[in-house]
Amino acid sequence: MTTALPKDSKALQVLLVDDNPIQLSLLRHLFQRHGHTTLEAKNGAEALIILATESPDVVVSDCVMPLLDGYQLCRLLKDDRATRHLPVLLLTAQGAGLARFWAKTCGADRFLVKGRDLDHVVEAAAALVEQSERPRAAHTVPRLAQENFGVDAIQRRLAQALEQRLVETALRDSIARLYTAEHDTLRLIRGFIEILQELVLPGALLVAYLGEDGTWCYGVHGSSASEEDRRDLEKAIRQHTLADTNGECHWHPVADDEERRRSLRDPVLRVLPAVTPGHPAVSALGFLTERRAAEDYERLFEIAAEELGRLLSLEDSRLRLYHQAIRDPLTGLYNRRHILDMLDMEVDQCGRFGQNLALMLIDLDHFKSVNDRFGHAAGDQVLSVMAQRMSFGLRKVDQLGRIGGEEFLAYGPQTDLDGVRALANRLREQVALEPIPGLPASDRVTLSIGLTSWEGPEDTVERMLSRADKNLYQAKAEGRNRVVG
């Protein structure tokens, strides 16, 4: 008796593969009872013959069979572009150990234990079909079905499949080692491109990464990829995943060896998003190469995009954690610990090379009254705006950090006391030119600044800060909004 399908379900065509006739009959009964049709094969080789003419929705296969077992069948299906998206459900009598391991490594979509899980086989198969991203295109004949189905052909394809797995593992391992060796975004991207460029050139390969520090867009190209080709690749990679990316792409030519120095006869341009589950898309991989190469290395490119997403998601997380550790969350400036660590290294440089160094301790005048009159939210606004104005007012070589409530520290490498005094006065005047948003226009926040400079090999950070603090105290005592030092 056939059980009617639920209204939201569809009848499936299921390819059953099992060398045990009793087990095969049981599976047939289970699926047909739920309204599905079945195709049957006694081993993996027969299954491949059936797939030459039929296009089932899912394969349900035993693991242990003669001639071509379920693991080998699954590996061949997943390595063939014609069948790689076909869901495969493996069944075994062994519930632990190597059986489960091999089921995962051969690419099976699901693994069930006979007896214990067999009652759920129809439900599991239907779920795989529903989740499958299998294209609904015209039936394509698997590669092996286009050859002689002899033992030699099967062994050759299995050897190729195992070699493909080895290459995939080596690719994953090579990319993973980049992160253990380097913690610099550009070097990570360059290392990744070096690993992949042999698959692509003489075309072009481009990686775009949108991180906390801005956009990286880096690529390499062979002699056959024209400037117009490269611009098309840039445009495609931006449109595909990084529409807000407007940074310039940096291209570098790579020398082609003699046999590859030719024009692309049948070029294809592809872009793959580099994403990791649970992370926002921060990167994309784009390439221009021969169509044949794109098809032959399709799986490798997909794995590369997956690994790039993982690599740059780790880098993105590392940078975010690093910035959280060194930045003041309110103003975005360096926090006390980091700015003092940087100052300590700068003083060490002065001792080694005899360079000048000057610093300023900066305090916002009458900041407590802002909090008292307008509230702490207004006070936070003042701190944020003044931090931004001070950052814009300093030179690129200067460093600025927040070391207390309304107290800031800035230092200028290779700057003497006269130089830092001129800089401090200019800074004091600039930050008070405009009113603070949210405060009355007449309320201008001013700065009191204490200065000092490095006084020789015996000088230390602590002594410099003590001198600057005394000068800051004097600036406040003399009426504020002034520079002393």
Collapsed DSSP state (helix, strand, coil) of residue 38 = strand
Q: How far apart are CA 176 and CA 313, in angstroms?
A: 12
pLDDT tens for 322-349 read 888 899 999 999 999 999 999 999 999 8
Q: How far apart are CA 221 and CA 253, in angstroms?
A: 5
Pair 319, 344 in one domain: no
What pLDDT is stored for residue 277 in this prediction?
Answer: 66
**DSSP string for 156-212:** HHHHHHHHHHHHHHHHHHHHHHHHHH---HHHHHHHHHHHHHHHHTTSEEEEEEEET
Q: How far is CA 368 from CA 194, 376, 380, 482, in A?
A: 56, 10, 11, 18
Structure tokens at 469: 């603090």
What pLDDT is stored for residue 463 in this prediction?
Answer: 94
Residue 213 lies in a domain: yes
Residues ≥6 apart with Cβ < 8 Å to 136: none
pLDDT tens for 412-459 read 999 999 999 999 999 999 988 888 888 888 888 899 999 999 998 889
* Distance in Å from the first CA to the final CA of the chain: 98
Residue 156 lies in a domain: no
Residue 459 lies in a domain: yes
Q: Which of 20, 10, 108 is nearest to 59 (CA)?
A: 108
Residue 474 lies in a domain: yes
Q: Which of 328, 333, 444, 437 is nearest to 377 (CA)?
A: 437
> Quick one: three-class SS letters along 55-78?
CCCEEEEECCCCCCCHHHHHHHHH
Q: Which of 396, 381, 392 is nearest to 331 (CA)?
A: 381
Q: How far apart are CA 137 and CA 133, in angstroms?
A: 12
Pair 404, 299 in one domain: no
pLDDT tens for 383-395 read 999 999 999 999 9
Structure tokens at 320: 């975010």
Q: How far apart are CA 134 and CA 193, in angstroms?
A: 30
Pair 341, 476 in one domain: yes
The top-scoring range by mean pLDDT among 153-162, 209-218, 250-259, 295-304 is 295-304
Residues 305 and 231 sit within 8 Å (Cβ to Cβ): no
Using the 3D structure, point to which of 299, 325, 351 is the last residue of a domain: 325
Structure tokens at 321: 């954690």
Residue 243 has pLDDT above 50, yes or no: no
What pLDDT is stored for residue 406 in this prediction?
Answer: 92
> 190 — phi, psi (to 5°)?
-65, -45
Sheet holding 267-274, edge to edge: 250-253, 214-221, 204-211, 283-290, 267-274
Mean predicted confidence (pLDDT) in 125-147: 67
Using the 3D structure, point to which of 306, 325, 344 is the last residue of a domain: 325
Pair 66, 145 in one domain: yes
Rounded to 5°, the CA angle 75-79-82 comes to 120
Predicted model pTM: 0.57
Q: Provide the domain count of the chain.
A: 3
Pair 284, 372 in one domain: no
Mean predicted confidence (pLDDT) in 108-120: 78
Mean predicted confidence (pLDDT) in 222-242: 81
Structure tokens at 343: 């100052």
Pair 388, 312 in one domain: no
According to DSSP, the residues that pair with 289 across neighbouring strands are 268
Which residues are catalytically annotated?
Answer: 406
Pair 350, 277 in one domain: no
* Residues spanned by the domain of 61: 13-149
Percent of the chain clearing pLDDT 70 (strictly above): 83
**What CATH number does the domain containing 348 carry?**
3.30.70.270
**pLDDT, mean over the chain:** 83
Residue 465 lies in a domain: yes
**What CATH number does the domain containing 196 carry?**
3.30.450
Pair 351, 473 in one domain: yes
Residue 265 lies in a domain: yes
Pair 117, 194 in one domain: no
Residue environment code for 274-311, b if the CB has 16+ CB neighbours within 10 A, otherwise e: bbbeeeebbbbbbbbbbeebbeebebebebbbbbbbbb
Pair 479, 345 in one domain: yes
**What CATH number does the domain containing 103 carry?**
3.40.50.2300
Q: How far apart are CA 356 and CA 205, in angstroms?
A: 46
Q: How far apart are CA 84 and CA 474, in angstroms?
A: 77
What pLDDT is stored for residue 82 in this prediction?
Answer: 79
Residue 243 buriedness (CB in 10 A; 0-12 / 13-18 / 19+): exposed
Pair 121, 232 in one domain: no
What pLDDT is stored for residue 154 in this prediction?
Answer: 67
Pair 133, 49 in one domain: yes
Residues 341 and 398 sit within 8 Å (Cβ to Cβ): no
Residue 253 lies in a domain: yes
Q: How far apart are CA 265 and CA 434, in angstroms?
A: 62
179 or 327, greater pLDDT: 327
Residue 219 lies in a domain: yes
Mean predicted confidence (pLDDT) in 72-93: 84
39 or 225, greater pLDDT: 39
